[in-house]
Structure 1
Amino acid sequence: MRVGVVQFPGSCDEVDALLAAERAVGAGNAELLWHRDRDLKGVDAVVVPGGFSYGDYLRAGAIAALSPAMESVAAFARDGGPVLGICNGFQVLCEAGLLPGTMLMNVGRRFVFRQVELDVVAADTAWTRATRRGQLLSIPAKHQTGRWYAPDETVERLVADDQVVFRYAAGDNYNGSSDGIAGVCNAARNVVGLMPHPEHAVDPLTGSADGLLLFRSPLEAAGVA
């Protein structure tokens, strides 16, 4: 399996995402995809990484969502390809209409960096097959515009359709996200977005290797793990 990581001007976590993917799928099996290039180079999974694409001008993720690479990512997702959006990548996927909801500024209106615990709500998506429902994952989060929001009726529909993938554990919803939601998926369950950064939690020396489970999940979904 080969994983592509999209790189935008202002991305700052694409290298960590690349290295995390290589830990899961093997060295040399992950590569950067430039935002102006429509060619996804035949990859089997795509990661849209964190950072500040285009300096978050206009709105976080709004400009990146219009990039040529994202046109190809959208087509890849429609064909069932696994796509993961991390932090700014989650913002991009929401702006591109690939995931429901939108991102608002944290309730404290400040950038916050802290370790959080995520409760796995859905373990059957392309990016959570290596986890189990109810498992707690220790993952760092770092953002200012990370308060996921959707109208109550949308939240109710997502809950009913099991499209809520992660919730912040009790006491960890510091940004005020609706219903404590930290990550969601599309109806087909191949596109997942979350605000915390699993690529920064792939080695016990950094405090947790729980994030590696997400990068291993596409292998299990493809039956090659």
Structure 2
Amino acid sequence: MSTEQYEQSRTCDSCGYEEKRLLDELSAAFEQTRAWGEPCPQCGSTEFSESASMPGLSRSVLSIWATNDGLSFSQQDEDLVIASRDNLELILEFLDSPSTHIWKRRVLASALHVLWYNAYPKTSQVAGFTFTYEIDSLDDDFLSDEEDITFEEYEDDSCCFQQVSPESFYDEEFAAKVAEEINKRAPLFIELGADSAEEFGNPLWYLHDYLREAFEKYAGKSTN
């Protein structure tokens, strides 16, 4: 377990009182344990603006998460939080472990699909953007292309928009590696219920579509 500490801060929306605290790795990792529910010590308000630094995924953190259905990294889109290329081996390790809670295995399976989807050129919708702007000092409006102002002519009050090509995020070799891991686990995904995961809110809904042919063959065998 890491001894590193992670800063969490909040500002009261009512009186502006600022607070900071340090959390250990486990407390900072999960949405439930980093919840800061105490009212403002200055005015008693419970409305805050908060920010927090969080640890990356580690085996020690995943081992706690995998067996506790009351803990989550995020209550929404948890598979997206987990789906980092650096986490592939950890995802596979805990996905394959029968000790991992079944719902957590479904989330890990979905994260595996997200990794493939984002890396595969024909499906990836990843895009990177850099957007910088300054307010026009004359009328406090955002500058736009319609004003026909170039950056060189008005360097002090300009709008610059740069789009990074999504192709820079593609990795067909990595996508093929993840696809291989997905395909050889089709029986596991059937065991987890992916063959009948037709509801959008189910983490395995994406895999149901991806492995449809394998699931249809399984269904055919089951009825014979």
TM-score, normalised via structure 1 length: 0.27
Structure scoring higher RCO (CA < 8 A, sep ≥ 6) equals: 1
Instruction: Give the structure with the higher percent strand.
Output: 1
TM-score, normalised via structure 2 length: 0.27
Instruction: Give the structure with the higher percent helix.
Output: 2
